[in-house]
Amino acid sequence: MCAMTPRSAKEWAVGIISTVVASIGGGAAVIQHYDLLAWADTPIGLVAMLGLVFACGLPGWAIVRWMFNYIDRKKGADLGEVISDVRGAL
């Protein structure tokens, strides 16, 4: 977020919220899926878990940035153009 600063306070707030939610939800899912709960027994394990949780939040931030860039690029388009563009991309 520091390398590419958001254009507005709204974009910054949405980016922070989505990063935190993706970190908590994604990190918890990864820890549960790979049965890494034993890491919580040691301080180094807790640091490793925090790093994993942080890494899980980065895709959430990237998706929100891509969404804001797409919305800015299609600002004057109507709904039909946006739908056809999304269908063409998929």
Question: Where are the domains positioned within the chain?
Answer: 9-89
Give the three-class secondary structure for 80: helix
Average pLDDT estimate for 77-83: 84
In this model, does residue 77 exceed pLDDT 70?
yes
pTM, two decimals, is 0.70
Find, among 22, 14, 25, the residue nearest to 60 by Cα.
Answer: 22
3-47 tens-digit pLDDT: 667 778 888 888 889 999 999 999 999 999 999 999 999 999 999
The DSSP result for 9-74, as a single string, is HHHHHHHHHHHHHHHHHHHHHHHHHTT-GGGGGSHHHHHHHHHHHHHHHHHHHHHHHHHHHHHHHT
Is the predicted pLDDT of residue 2 greater than 70, yes or no? no
